[in-house]
Amino acid sequence: MLKNSSRHYSPLNVPVFVFISAVFGILTLLPPIVTVVVLTLLTIVAGYLALHFDNYVASIFSVAYLLRLFVILVDSKIGLLPSPPIATGHNQHAIQLVSAWTSGQFLGVLSSLTPMRIFIAHILSPFYILIGKSPISGRIGIATISLLIGYIIFKLAREVVDRRTSMLAAAIVLLWPTIFYRSIVIQREVVVTVVLLTALWAASRMINEITVSSVILVILCTLAMVVLRKENLVLIAAMVGVVSLIKSRDKPYYLAGFALLAIPFTAFFILNFNDFTGYGTALTPQALDAFAYGRAHGSATYLIGLHYNTWLDVILYAPVKILYFLYSPFPWQIRGMTGVLAGGSAIMLFVATLFLRRGIATLKNRPYYLTLLLSYLVLGITTYAIVEMNYGAAVRRRIQFVPILILIGVVGLSNVRFNVRW
């Protein structure tokens, strides 16, 4: 029987709603820079109140958001950080969409664009309405969405560790250099990461109990990933597969259901590799090679000369490709401000990896949870490493997996005892 979860109506809800609506209404009338300053001040107040009332989770998120707003505000004036080329397009499309809405046109807008660009324009449009038709609006939109990465990591961590350790994991993820940088530029990487981690969180909840809300979350994430990055559908399919195998230990019909779904999807992916990547026809070493070299462009390429002629080549090259995917750029490859951020992140990731074994050992008492996380990491990192040959792209792609690596590392760190003698 479903429990009645309705809450008692509070008269305070109305004035609070009116106040928030009034604040947002006023913000839409202000110039973009002034709106950002006001948002910064409101974030400071929210952080102070959260700290005053001992809500440390809200305090962490307030600080993370405040730092993002501050960097965006400063960078909009001095232009210290480079902007990805695609950011200009996303900004123009969102402005075009909002302009069409304000003129009364709601259908057929941006119809000539790819679904991914249309999707990004729609999720950023509320920020352009609130702040104004300026690139700073899109950057704040991505910064706001990026907070969900920390929130999901916090929720995943609470499955196995205490609140303090969960807050530490969320704080590290939110302040991780490459994640922080991708959170203040207009690019889809943060959105893709949020969708993947949401699907992973829903899958972790389904291990204990399959609920309607979890199923809906997985379906919505799947639909979003079809638009954002089709090749990541393999990761979501793997999550569903792991949950089905786990549930089949008690209810064998889950295995039959998984087979009915997995076999057709796997066959379709193998035979129609081109539909997911744009290279080759079926999944073959030659198609993987074409996909990898199709992405190997610019001055940040690595391991040029390695080719996949057979499946044995794919297997033999995988370890070194994984090494480059996770830890490049190496110190001697660092160039410019973004190179410093990426290189520093790679060094920090190597340190975090040292705690991975301890984290895995700690999670052995939660084997199903650990299996789900490791399947996501191993499959995701291996598949991306095989086809990646550009450390600029590798830095962007690996933020999909860095939060889970950090989570397991922090779990391992949580049972370390330091014996310090003063």
What pLDDT is stored for residue 295 in this prediction? 81
Helices (H) and strands (E) in the chain, counts: 20, 0
DSSP output for 408-419: HHHHHHTT----
% of the chain surpassing 70 pLDDT: 91
What pLDDT is stored for residue 422 in this prediction? 34
Task: Kindly list the domain boundaries of the chain, sorted by start residue.
Answer: 15-187
What pLDDT is stored for residue 266 in this prediction? 82
What does the pLDDT average to over 179-198?
95
pLDDT of residue 7 exceeding 60:
no
pLDDT confidence band for 106 (50 / 70 / 90): confident
pTM given for the model: 0.90
- The more confident residue out of 13 and 231 is 231
Per-residue pLDDT tens over the stretch 128-149: 999 989 999 999 999 999 999 9
pLDDT confidence band for 15 (50 / 70 / 90): low
pLDDT of residue 343 exceeding 90:
no
What pLDDT is stored for residue 305 in this prediction? 87
What pLDDT is stored for residue 289 in this prediction? 92
C-beta separation of 234 from 383 below 8 A: yes
pLDDT of residue 11 exceeding 60:
no
Question: Please, what is the average pLDDT of the chain?
Answer: 87
Length of the chain: 422
Per-residue pLDDT tens over the stretch 284-310: 999 999 999 988 877 778 888 889 999
What pLDDT is stored for residue 85 in this prediction? 86
The token pair that represents 194 in the structure block: 């949020």
The token pair that represents 89 in the structure block: 């397009």
C-beta separation of 243 from 388 below 8 A: no
Per-residue pLDDT tens over the stretch 144-171: 999 999 999 999 999 888 899 999 999 9
Per-residue pLDDT tens over the stretch 16-59: 566 666 766 776 767 888 888 888 899 999 999 999 898 999 99
d(CA 155, CA 201): 8
d(CA 283, CA 287): 6
